[in-house]
Structure formats: C-alpha cells, structure tokens
Amino acid sequence: MSEAGPPAGTGRRERKKLATRAALREAALRLAARHGVERVTVEQLAAEADIAVRTFFNYFSSREEALVATLAAGAEALIAEFRARPPAESVLTALREAALRVLRAGDLAGEEQVQALRLIVRAPSLEPQRLAVFAAQERALAAAIAERVPAAAGTLYPALCAATALTAMRLVLDEWLDDAAASRASLRKSLDEVMAELAAGLDRPGGPVDP
Amino acid sequence: MSEAGPPAGTGRRERKKLATRAALREAALRLAARHGVERVTVEQLAAEADIAVRTFFNYFSSREEALVATLAAGAEALIAEFRARPPAESVLTALREAALRVLRAGDLAGEEQVQALRLIVRAPSLEPQRLAVFAAQERALAAAIAERVPAAAGTLYPALCAATALTAMRLVLDEWLDDAAASRASLRKSLDEVMAELAAGLDRPGGPVDP
DNA sequence: TCTGAACGTGCACGACGTGCATGGATGCAC
DNA sequence: GTGCATCCATGCACGTCGTGCACGTTCAGA
C-alpha cells in the first residue's frame, strides 16, 4: 500500500498488463452488444483481445467478471472521488458529488457506452456478479467513511452507511438505465431524492389500520 | 397467484417435489460442513438426495443456488412475516419484528444450523449468489411496502426502503455470524441499532477540516 | 380405466476453470 | 551489455458444470 519503490504504472510489463485488461473490458462490452450477453464465450473474448484462452483466466477469474469489469471500474472510481471530496462535506453529500463526477467524467461518456451498460445491468445471469462488484466496494467505502467521520470509527455506522448508500446508488442507476429515454438531469434528480431520503430517515408510519 | 384449483401442497407430486427440494437444501448444508463449500459437487448432492444428476438441475439452476437455498428460504419467510405484521406498525418496526420472528422460529434453530450458515456466508465463491438471494427479495419487499404505505406507492420509496433495509439486515447477519461467540441477544441489539439509524437518517457531518 | 401432462432419467456435447510444465519477455544489479 | 531471477503468456490435460433432447414412468382428472 505504501508508495515506495518504482511508481506503479511504469515499466513495460505493467503497461502491457493494464492494456490487456482494458482491451478485455472493451471486448466484453463490444461482444455483448454484438451477440448478446449470454452468447459471449471466453474463446471469443480471448480472440477479440488477441490472447490465449488460458491467459484470459490470468486476468479474470470468470467470464462474468470480465463482463462486469466496466461497472467495477466505475465503482472504484466512485470510492476514489469520495476520498477526494473536501473533508468538511457530510458523508452523503460527498457521495452524491462523487457519483456525479464519475458519471460526468467517466465511462458513461457516449450513448454507445450507456447502451452497453444497459445490456449488462439487464442480464439476469449477470446479476450475482454485478451485485458482488458493489459489495466488494462496500468494504473500501466503509473504511473511507470511518476516516471521514472519526467519531464513528469502531461503530456499525461506516459499514451500514457504505452498504446502504451503495445499494441506493445501485438502485438509482438501475432504474435510470431501465428508462430508455431518461435524461442526465433525471438521473441527478433521482440521486438527489434518494440521498435526501437516506439523510432524513427511512421509516414511515403504516397506512390506515384497516386497509 | 390466485387460489383457484386444488390447494397447493396437496397431491403426491407436489409433496414429493417439496420433499426433494428440502432434501437437497439439507444435503447441501451437510456436505458443505463435511467437505467444505468448495468441494461440494453436484454429483455428491444428487447422490445424497438419491436423485439423478440431471434431475438436480430440475430443482436448482446451479450448484451455488442449492448451497444458498436455506438463506433464500429464510429471506422468503422474512417477507411473509413482514406482510403478516399489523398494518399500523411503521415499516422499519414491522421489518425488525419480522426478522426477530424468523430468527426465533426458523432455520436458526440449532447451533448446527448456525454453523452451517456460517460456512455459506463466509465462502467467497458463494458471495455473488448470496447477494442475489437478497436482491431477489427486494422486489417482493418493495411491493409489500407499497401496500403498507399507500401514500408512497408510485414513488422511489418502496424500492429504496426495501433495498436498503435488506442490505442493512444482511450486514447485521454477516457481522453476527462473523463473531463466533455472539449471542442471540447481541443480534437483537445490533438489529435494533441499525434500524434506529436508518430511521433517524444516515447522514453525518465530516470530521475536522484538516485531519 | 383412460389420457394428457408433468416429471425423472440417461446420454451427448459444448463451455468453463485450474494445475502444471515450458519458453520467452522483462526488470535489475553489476 | 551481460547474466540472472522473476514474471508472464501459452498449450495441454482433466474434472466439473449446465443444457438440449428423447424416452419411459407416474400422477391428476374425467
């Protein structure tokens, strides 16, 4: 974790590995768009990235992991942006701003990318791996929250907030992608709403006693 | 969904299917405890339940699904208990009470069961399927919440509350299972705490500006 | 008792994921 | 630039997974 030694990303080896990984990520989206998520095989992925099938498994432990790799990259970027927010911001505000930055600057650049993500998110066979992506970032986010709110370190709050906030953001993204004609503005609106609800408290009284 | 026709659960066929399914659920836990989660094969599962390998796939679509089937049953029971709570109870209160009932009356009966669940929850290779179990119940819970709080129907609230509350409960269960010596009382305490935090709002101001 | 549908099963096959051995590319110290 | 230690890509073999298909059996209802 320390920054000792030669800076990461230098060296031919590291660069080649990063490039191969990125090529596989993009190949996965391309092939999913072309043939459908279910019909993408490891053989095709390897061929598209021009590596051996055996080598594919040096980069991803399963076909599904490659298909959700772009989501994983986005989730990691979210945590990084969150850590970069001014420490005075409240937790949920920082998360909201971080999400907006990732969406603006990030992988959701073109309509083409959005379309590809739609495929990934809607594929039922990918749901387990897709959820695992967010769960993996829960731990990292919980650690970051514990740093931001020192008073809460050691309590359940960091883990709880990380898990629920990520879940809420997943929900917003899912619903937004479900709506073919949804605008960028509507995404921001939903995000604001959801974060406000989390901040204000989720409980609600029941309905009429005799419905 | 309607109750027309012969009542479900009657008939030799239905009973046999239910029994086979239950046998597979239990076989999965037994074999996981005996050989470790990773080493349980479909062949073993089928043999233990005395059915053909091919037939196994008529009941579960994957080896992993069988291993988390007990969790799935618990989650379904939770939704059913939630629906049975008095309508005047607030959403989070009803969820908390429902969870306590499931834990009391349900599959967490013996220490043996708890030990088996620990194995399932801790197995990294099962995490995607495990998360999918809860996600599958999110939709059902969201529908139930929309019924309980008619005013919120049509808004994001039902889905948001269902997703975050289930996530929070998953978190509590995970942490409780992680602690070998945790008591039933401590589980209840954590559950109360978490629900209270969700009710009160999750936001927190940041720490000192210059940490 | 008869009949259609649902179910269990065996078989074949493509795809997945891993351990192992090997050769080549890379980084590093001298 | 030379030699060495290491990492990495690759091919191969193998066990496991999951599915389509065809066939025989069992069950529910008339």
Average pLDDT over residues B164-190: 92
pLDDT band at B201 (very low <50, low <70, confident <90, very high): confident
Res B204: pLDDT? 83
Q: How many CB atoms lie within 10 A of CB A183?
A: 10
| Subunit contact A89:B165, Cβ cutoff 8 A | no
- Tell me the chain A residues in contact with residue B205 when contact means C-beta distances shorter than 8 Å: 88, 90, 149
Average pLDDT over residues A97-101: 95
Q: Mutate which of B61, B203, B209 to disrupt the A interface (most A C-beta within 10 Å)?
A: B203
Nucleotides of C under 7 A from a protein CB: 6-12, 15-20, 25-28
Q: Return the DSSP state at B210.
A: -
| Subunit contact B204:A147, Cβ cutoff 8 A | no
CA distances from B31 to A178, B27, B49, B63 (A): 40, 6, 11, 12
pLDDT band at B15 (very low <50, low <70, confident <90, very high): very high
Average pLDDT over residues A85-98: 95
Averaged pLDDT of chain A: 91
Average pLDDT over residues A53-65: 98
- How far, in Å, CA of A46 to CA of A132, rounded? 23
Res B210: pLDDT? 43
pLDDT band at A7 (very low <50, low <70, confident <90, very high): low
Q: In Å, how far is A41's CA from the nearest CA of chain B?
A: 18
pLDDT above 90 for A202? no
Average pLDDT over residues B60-68: 98
pLDDT band at B161 (very low <50, low <70, confident <90, very high): very high
Chain centroid to Cα A116, Å, comes to 14
pLDDT above 60 for B5? no
Res B121: pLDDT? 96
More confident residue, B111 or B119: B119
- How far, in Å, CA of B101 to CA of B81, rounded? 8
More confident residue, A27 or A112: A27
Res A5: pLDDT? 38
